[in-house]
Structure 1
C-alpha cells in the first residue's frame, strides 16, 4: 500500500518542506564568556567580584557564592556594569539564586554597550537606539533558574534591579559568544607589535560579522551591504580562505535586487558586486559559480552603460555614494563614480571573457574606450583620488602626491582608507601607507578598541576618553560625543567590517603575497618591509598555505624564505 495513494501530493510537498526547515542546523557556535572586570556599581550590591569566577550555567540548592542586588524603598537602584574584555556578538545568560519572600520573578533592565558609556546610556540619549538589535530592554528573570537574553554586538553590560523593596540573587552572568568556529589560516607577524595587533584586530572584526550572512556591523547594520563587502571579503580571503558566507551573501544581494534596481539602492554597490565576484574567482577558481552570474551581469552592464552620457561622463541615478565622509563633496563623488564605472566595466570585461559572453565584453570595451577621454577633478577627495588611481584614470604618483599624502592620516576613512592604502602602494609609497596604518587604525587601539569602527576621525583624538572607561571629568566621550550622518553618537557602530582593510593590505603589500592566476594557482611574492626589520606570515589557498618570512639584512637587502603547496606556482 503506497502512502501517496491516500495523501494528496501537495500535502506531501508541504510535509517535505516543513521537515527540511525543521532540520536546518546553525553554522554558528556558542561559547560562554565570563566578565573580566566590574567597571562600576551603585546602590546595594554585595559580593560582585564573584561574577568574575567562571560559571557552569547551572543553579543549585546550596545557594552559595551568590551576588546580591538589593533595593530598598526610595533608595538607589542596585546596578552593576560588567566588562567582558573584548567586543562580542551574541547575548547574555543569567543564572539566579533563591531570594527570600517567595519565588516571585524579578524585573531587571539590561543595557548592552560597545563602549562603557553606551552601556550607561538610555534610548534617545546621544543617539542611543535599539535599531537592528535590541540592546536596552527590561525583562523578568526567574527565581532559582536560568534565562538567556537578547542578541547584539557588545563588550559591556549594565544590569539594574527594577523592582522596589526587592532582592535579586545572581549566581552567574555570562556572555553568549556566537561565532563561526573556523581557524585563522592566514597570519601576520612583524617587528612592529602595533602592526601585528592591527592585522589581528581587522581579522577579528570581520570574523565577528561572519554570522549567517556577512554583515557590516554586529550591533547596527546587521545587513548585507554589498559595497561594504569588498574590504571584508579581501580580509576574509587573507585570513580564512574560502568560506560559504561570501557566495551566500552575494547571491542574496542578487536575489533581492532584480534589475533595473541597484543593490542597496546605490549604483556603486552593484559595481562592487562585479568586482567582488572577480576577486573571489581569482582567489578560489570556481568557474561554474562565476558562470551562474552571466545573465545578471549582462543586464547589469547594460544598465551601467546606459548611465554613461554622450559626453563620456557617468550620470548614475540611485543614491550617489562612495562613503559617508565624502558625501558632502559632489565633485569628488562624481570623480569617484566615474572611476568606479571604469573599474567595474573593466572587471566585467574580464569576467565576460571567462564566461564566454562576447556581447558583454564588447559593450564594456566600447564604453571604456570612449570614457578614456575624460578625466574628472577629484576636488581634494582622497576617496576619489584613490579610485581614480586604481581605475587608471590618473597616475598613482599624481594622486598620492597631490591628494593622498597631504596631511598624512587626515581625511582618511575606515571604509575607503583601504583604497587609499592601495593607491599609495601603487605609487610605491609603502612606507607612507604603513605610517598611516599605525597612526589612523592604531589610534582606535589606543582608545581601547578591540574591533575597528564604522568611522574614525583623527580630530576626535585630542582629550578623548577610552571606550573601556567611564568618561572622566574634563574628557570628551569618544563614542557618545562624535559621529555624523546615520551614525551620530551611540548609534555609531564600533565593529564594522568595512574598516578591516589594513589586514588585507599588510598581507598583500608587506608580506607581498599577490594572487596572479585563478584559484591562487600562481602567487607572486614581492615584500615591502619599509622600516620593519622582518615580516612573516601565511596565506590560505585552496591547496594549502603559502608561507613567507622576510628578513632585512645589514646591507638593506631582504632575505626571503618562501614555501607553498606543490599545486601553487610561486614567482618572485
Structure 2
C-alpha cells in the first residue's frame, strides 16, 4: 500500500499525532525544519469591549431608515445570537438615502471596533463605511486636503463588509467617536452590538494625586491616562499618529510612568529598540537631541529603579554615543549635525535652537558622567565631567525663547530668576505641550511654584475646557478665542479647533489629540506639590519637599521598587504644613529644611 492510497484524512491525522509526539520532547517534526522561523514578542496587553455611552447623531429621524439605535448602548457580550431581531439597530438604505449614525464612547481610547450582526434578511454581506475620530469633527470628516483628515499611520476611514449573523473586529487607531454608514443602496443591516475594542496594558495606577483643587486632580489623572493609552507594544508618541518610538517624546512619558505606574517593561523595551536600530554615528530618529534624551532617560530610569545590570548593557553604546557628541563640539560650543530640533514651536528660531542644543549637550554629558560613575568607568566619567565644565563656559542668548531659557536654567548656564522672567512673560503664551514640562521645571528651579501651578491650571486645563479627555500633541492658548468644544458639533460662528489649527506635522485633523509628551504636569505635581523626589538609586532615599502654593491640602502615593509611599500634607492655620508619610522599611525618608 503506497502513500497515495492512504485516505487524506488519515494522512492529516498521522501528521498531527507526530507533531504532538515531537512537541512533547521540545522539538517539531523534521518535515517542519525547512520553514522560516519568526519570533514574536510577548504581547502583555488586554482587550476590553466597551459599549457606546451615547448615540451622538443619526442622519435621519425616519424610522423606516434607522430605528432601535439605543439598543447599542447595552452591555456588550460580543456574541451573535438567534433571535427575532426586534430590538436590534435596524439601518436600511434606499436608492437615494444611505443612513448613518455617530457613536460616542465617552473618552479617547486606543483600539478598534467590534460589530455584531443579526439575522439580516439577505445572507449577502453588507458593506459599511467606518470613520473614527478623536473629535466629533474628525469622525464626521472624509479624507481630503481641506481639513487634513488622513489615514496616515492608522486607518480611520475605511469600508468593510459585515457578515450575516456574525462578528467582525476591525481597526487599530486612537478615537472617541465612530461613525457607521451604509455604503450600498437598498440594503438592510441588523446590528446587535457596536463596541470599542480598548487595547491596553492592564496595570494598576500605583501613584496618585489628590488635592482640594479638582481641576489639578483631573489634570494629573488625564496626564496619566494619556501616557497609559500610549503604552502599547512599545511606548508611542500618539495613539492615532505617529504611533512610533520618538525618544524625545519618551522623556516626559517616562517621567509620568515613574510617578504613576512604577517599573514597566515598555520603557526598556522601547529604549532598546531605538538603540538597536540606530547604529553609530547616526542620531536616534535622525535628531541629535533625541540621542541625548536617551542618555537622560537611562540616568533617570536607573535612579528610580536601580537596575545596574540593565544600565551596564548600555555602556558599550553609550561610550560610542558620547564620543560622537564630543566630536560635535568645537571649543566650548555645540556644532551638532542631524536635525536640529527642540520642539515644533521653537523650530523657526535658529538662535534659540543653538542655545537649547548647548544646554542639551550639558545635560547629556552630565547624565553620562553619572552613569559612568555608577558603572565604575572612571575614565569616561572624567571625560564627560570635563565636557560639561567646558560647555558651561559659553552662555548663548536664549533669543526670546521660553524653551531655550528653560533648558539653560535647568543646566546651570542661565540665572533661574532671569529665566523664569522669560518663561513667565505673557503668561502661558508660547507654551508647548512638550516643552511646557521643562518650563514648569524651570519655574520650580526659580522657586515660582505658585506660578507653575497657575500655568498648569490655565494651559492644560484649557484643553479640558474644550472637551479633551486626553492631552494633545500641541496647544496654543490663543486657540481659546471663540473656540467650539471638540466633543460637539461646531455652532455657526464658532472656530473648529481641531479642523482649524496645528502646523508642521500636525496640521488640522491630522493633529493627535492623545500625545504622551503632553503629560508633564502629572510628573511635575507628584515631584513638586506632593513633593516626592528620588535621591538614591532604586528610590532607596526619597526627599519630601512639598510646595502647595494656594492649595489647602494634598495627598497621594508614589511607587518604588519596594512598595508604595503614602504622603499627605495639610496646611495649618499659621501656614505651616502638617505632613504624614508612610513608606516601606527599605525606603529612607528625608525632609527638606
Q: TM-score range by the shorter chain?
A: over 0.9
2:22 touches 2:28 (CA, 8 Å); kept in 1? Answer: no
Structure 2 equivalent of residue 255 of structure 1 = 276
Structure 1 equivalent of residue 509 of structure 2 = 490
Deviation at 1:98, TM superposition (A): 1.8
**Cα distance between partner residues in 2 of 1:435 and 1:558:** 20
**Cα distance between partner residues in 2 of 1:39 and 1:291:** 53
Residue 21, structure 1, aligned to residue 46, structure 2: no
**Cα distance between partner residues in 2 of 1:91 and 1:555:** 54
Query: Equivalent residue of 1:137, what SS?
Result: strand
Q: How does 1:62-77 map to 2 (within 5 A)?
A: 62=83, 63-74=85-96, 76-77=97-98
- 5+ residue gaps, structure 1, are none
Deviations 1:354-408 (A, max 9, x none): 112223222212222222221001111111111001111112111002x111011
Deviation at 1:463, TM superposition (A): 1.1
Residue 210, structure 1, aligned to residue 231, structure 2: yes
Deviations 1:329-353 (A, max 9, x none): 1111100000000110011011111
Structure 2 equivalent of residue 360 of structure 1 = 380
Deviation at 1:291, TM superposition (A): 0.8
Deviations 1:472-521 (A, max 9, x none): 11111110111000000010000000000000000000001000000000
- 5+ residue gaps, structure 2, are 1-20
Q: Which runs of 4+ in 1 moved over 3 A?
A: 8-18
Structure 1 equivalent of residue 159 of structure 2 = 138
Structure 1 equivalent of residue 260 of structure 2 = 239
Deviation at 1:15, TM superposition (A): 8.0
**Cα distance between partner residues in 2 of 1:369 and 1:145:** 68
Structure having the higher Rg: 2
2:570 touches 2:579 (CA, 8 Å); kept in 1? Answer: yes
Aligned length: 563
1:87 touches 1:450 (CA, 8 Å); kept in 2? Answer: yes
Structure 2 equivalent of residue 565 of structure 1 = 584
2:137 touches 2:489 (CA, 8 Å); kept in 1? Answer: yes
Which of these residues, 286, 289, 294, is aligned with residue 268 of structure 1? 289
Q: How does 1:233-382 map to 2 (within 5 A)?
A: 233-310=254-331, 312-382=332-402
TM-score norm. by structure 2 comes to: 0.92
Structure 1 equivalent of residue 408 of structure 2 = 388
Structure 2 equivalent of residue 173 of structure 1 = 194
Deviation at 1:17, TM superposition (A): 8.3
Which of these residues, 474, 480, 483, is aligned with residue 455 of structure 1? 474
Which of these residues, 464, 468, 471, is aligned with residue 487 of structure 2? 468
1:294 touches 1:357 (CA, 8 Å); kept in 2? Answer: no
Structure 2 equivalent of residue 414 of structure 1 = 433
Query: Equivalent residue of 2:459, what SS?
Result: helix
Deviation at 1:3, TM superposition (A): 8.5
**Cα distance between partner residues in 1 of 2:67 and 2:455:** 47
Deviations 1:216-243 (A, max 9, x none): 1010011100111000000001000000
Q: How does 1:77-226 map to 2 (within 5 A)?
A: 77-100=98-121, 102-124=122-144, 125-226=146-247
**Cα distance between partner residues in 2 of 1:388 and 1:532:** 30
Structure 2 equivalent of residue 549 of structure 1 = 568
Deviates more, 1:424-433 or 1:44-53: 44-53
TM-score norm. by structure 1 comes to: 0.96
Query: Equivalent residue of 2:108, what SS?
Result: strand
**Cα distance between partner residues in 1 of 2:101 and 2:468:** 22
Deviation at 1:470, TM superposition (A): 1.2
**Cα distance between partner residues in 2 of 1:194 and 1:361:** 44
**Cα distance between partner residues in 2 of 1:12 and 1:484:** 56
Deviations 1:236-255 (A, max 9, x none): 01000000110000000100
Root-mean-square deviation over aligned CA pairs: 1.9
Deviation at 1:144, TM superposition (A): 1.1
Query: Equivalent residue of 2:79, what SS?
Result: coil
**Cα distance between partner residues in 1 of 2:275 and 2:42:** 24
**Cα distance between partner residues in 2 of 1:516 and 1:81:** 50
Deviations 1:148-178 (A, max 9, x none): 0111000000001001011111111000000
Query: Equivalent residue of 1:199, what SS?
Result: helix
Residue 443, structure 1, aligned to residue 465, structure 2: no
Alpha carbons of 1:551 and 1:175: their partners in 2 closer, same or farther (altered >3 Å)? Answer: same
